[in-house]
Amino acid sequence: MTTPSIIRFRLQDLRNQEHYQYGLEFRQLALSVWPGDNPPLGTYWHSFTAALAEEEAALERIHKSELTDPLTDLHRKREHLYRGFDHTVNAALNGIEPAKIPHAQHLRAILDNYRNPNALPYQQQSGTLNNLIQDLKTRAAAACDSLGLNPQLHALEQANLEFDRLFNQRADEQAGQSHLSAVRDIRKTMDRALRDLFEICEGQAKLDPSPGNPCVRFIHALNPINQDFARTLQTRRSYTKHRRKQGLTQA
């Protein structure tokens, strides 16, 4: 009876989200083969699951870019200023001063064209607000002046610029240094645990290669997953090689 072996690929070549996804799929498969929270895979299983939890937390910190209180306050401030500007325009539309209504209608049309910037993700919100502000300053200066909105517009612009500056600074400092460094260390720990788990399963399968052995069933189910990730890496390497070859040809 042939002893099954696990298809290997370079775990370290996976991107961070791919690496985390592989960990999730590995854990889910193991728990389906060995029901319960503690598959009989020794201390390496605990090392793997602990590293997977740490990787999830570290990646979450990167995505959030550690929005500390000053940055959160700036975000709330610009959202508040935008709502105030929007409400002022609506009030003028329904006001009792007929001379201001055409200006309010003009402003309303521009605002509607940008929908609701406050509903957008942080960086997209920054870019949209910047475009809107420039549009208002160039196409609706008279309307803003008529409704007394220039101070609000200036305050919104300053809050948006300050948020964008601080957001990028925090992303560069934190995501680029401590968090990514932490992810690298966590990945190394997880990779060691996974390699040890591979060897444990293969060792158990060698002792009993029968289909009834849970390790044999696990290996057979794991290999298609590993093949998919290996194929992803191969496709990426081929694409990179092709792009490099194109660059050399063009040069």
Q: What pLDDT does residue 107 have?
A: 96
Q: How far apart are CA 88 and CA 149, in angstroms?
A: 8
pTM higher than the cut 0.85: no
Among 29-38, 114-123, 133-142, 193-202, the minimum mean pLDDT is found in 114-123
Q: List, for residues 136-160, the tens digit of each pLDDT value.
A: 999 999 999 999 999 999 999 999 9
- pLDDT tens by residue, 60-109: 777 665 555 677 888 889 999 999 999 999 999 988 899 999 999 999 99
39 band by pLDDT with thresholds 50, 70 and 90: confident
- For the chain, give the secondary structure using H, E and C: CCCCCCCCCCHHHCCHHHHHHHHHHHHHHHHHHCCCCCCCCCHHHHHHHHHHHHHHHHHHHHHHCCCCHHHHHHHHHHHHHHHHHHHHHHHHHCCCCHHHHHHHHHHHHHHHHCCCHHHCCHHHHHHHHHHHHHHHHHHCHHHHHHCCCHHHHHHHHHHHHHHHHHHHHHHHHHHHHHHHHHHHHHHHHHHHHHHHHHHHHHHHHHHCCCCCCHHHHHHHHHHHHHHHHHHHHHHHHHHHHHHHHHHHHHC
pLDDT in tens, 185-239: 999 999 999 999 999 999 999 999 999 999 999 999 999 999 999 998 898 888 7
Cα separation of 106 and 129, whole Å? 18
Amino acid 95: pLDDT = 86
Pair 194, 42: CB distance under 8 Å: no
Distance CA 166, CA 188 (A): 32
Higher pLDDT: 164 or 107? It is 107
Q: What is the pLDDT of residue 12?
A: 92
Give the lowest-confidence range in 88-92, 121-125, 163-167: 121-125
Does the pLDDT of residue 34 top 90, yes or no?
yes
Tokens of 159: 């809050």
> What is the pLDDT at residue 120?
82
pLDDT of residue 121: 78
| Closest to 183 in 3D by CA, of 73, 27, 19 | 19
Please state, as a whole number, how many other Cβ atoms lie within 10 Å of the Cβ of residue 230: 16
Q: Which residue has the higher pLDDT, 177 or 43?
A: 43
pLDDT number for residue 245: 73
CA dist list (Å): 208 to 195, 204, 214, 232: 20, 6, 10, 32
Give the pLDDT score at 42: 84
**Helix axes of 69-93 and 101-113: crossing angle, nearest 10 degrees:** 140
pLDDT, position 70: 79
Q: Is a pLDDT exceeding 60 seen at residue 174?
A: no
pLDDT value for 21: 92
Mean pLDDT computed over 15-23: 91
Q: Quickly state the pLDDT bin for 173 (edges 50, 70, 90).
A: low
The pLDDT value given to residue 188: 94
Query: Given the structure tokens 């509607």, which residue do they identify?
Result: 112
Residue 248 pLDDT greater than 60, yes or no: no
Is the separation of the CB atoms in 204 and 212 below 8 Å? no
- Please tell me the distance from the alpha carbon of residue 159 to that of residue 92, in angstroms, as a whole number: 24
